[in-house]
Copies of this chain bind each other. A is one copy, B any other.
Amino acid sequence: MSKKKDLNVGIVGYGFMGRTHSNAYLQAPRFFDVAYRPVLKAACARNADRVKGFAENWGYQSAETDWRALVARKDIDLIDIASPNDTHAEIAIAAAKAGKMVLCEKPLGRTAEEAKAMVDAVEKAKVPNMVWYNYRRVPAVVLLKKLLDEDRFGRIFHYRSQFLQDWTISQDLPQGGEGLWRLDSAVAGSGVTGDLLAHNVDMALWLNGPITEISAMTETFVKQRKHNLTGQVEPVKIDDASAFLCRFQNGSLALFEATRYARGHKALFTLEINGERASAAWDLHDLHRLNYFDHGDEGQLRGWKSVHITDGDHPYMKNWWVPGLQIGYEHTFIHQIADFLVALDGNRTAAPTFRDGLATDYVTDAVLKSAKTKKWEAVPAA
């Protein structure tokens, strides 16, 4: 591999996403032929002890407790926002103004309005920007995208996608607090719509094009939970479940559903697409398998093929092990940053950009609106 240039990274947040991103920065240059090597300059979070421990573990050279200080540092090229949703807009806009590249965890904003301001900021500043919709980098999904781009499916009739979890069924779970801010609407913006459904939507827009109109319903099954800040039992304002019917611009029909109340499912992100000549299905619980049906196959032998996406000619896989040997969840982040570094070297942009993130926020906003109005709602173009 060639000599690599330094790319100085400052990260905000040391939680779950802080770990996946940090790991990605370290692993990408070892497994992919990228022109840049991320240098972990600084980690930033409010809790000084914790951020110091985090920095030591991952090899960040320094720790900060104020993101404004981080953004102000001259020795940092890229700000990575891995903190809760309510911090995304403010940090991203400041970082853009400071001329930093900006990577941001999904969803981009708590609302499309927030997201729009973020897009404006990075586009005005002309800084590279990307949203961490990591599942676009699952090798099986990348192969599916390629098959669609080659027009192997013909006219698309149907798309469907779910994200099923079951971890908030217990009424004893508080809203807010460490690891639980996703239940606090002030921090998270919404419930499963922004947290889970946003993944379904981002991938669908990428694979199947724009959504034009939506009819949605949401539900909050547990109406009251103790709030971690007040210590009081308070109304729950997030959506526990969210589902919608829609039409895509290409004429296909779709159903989407996300919930944290589907007993027995941990992180069952699924998708299926049915075209005139082919169909495909994938799910996150067996992420290395692409299920593919080709109507062009000989009639008596038509069936769904389970393709084990672990070969050297499968996307990203020649950089890992040998056929039959799997990769896991964190590899999607490694792939995404590797793509970002390759694009950077070529003065290109790696998707999904902030503008792509805004497109998803328009859809999730329409979902939440339709659930309230009980009407079909149109989706604006991003």
Contacts and interface: CB of A to CB of B under 8 A. Distances in A.
A257 to B, nearest CB: 6
Contacts of A16: 321-322
A287 to B, nearest CB: 6
A321 B293 CA distance: 23
A315 to B, nearest CB: 9
Contact of A284 (B266, B324, B374): B324
Interface SS, A side: mixed
Given A295-B263, A301-B292, A324 B165 contact: yes
A266 B310 CA distance: 9
Contact of A268 (B165, B166, B324, B327): B324
Given A30-B57, A274-B264, A325-B267, A217 B311 contact: no
A330 interface: yes
Interface in A245-266: 245, 247, 251, 253, 255, 257, 259, 261-266
B277 A263 contact: yes
Interface residues of A, number: 88
A125 interface: no
A380 interface: no
Interface in A274-303: 274-279, 284-287, 290, 292-295, 297, 299-303
A262 B58 contact: no
Given A158-B259, A266-B311, A300-B314, 15 more contacts: A26-B26, A155-B221, A263-B275, A263-B279, A264-B274, A264-B278, A264-B295, A266-B325, A268-B324, A284-B324, A303-B306, A303-B307, A320-B328, A325-B329, A326-B329
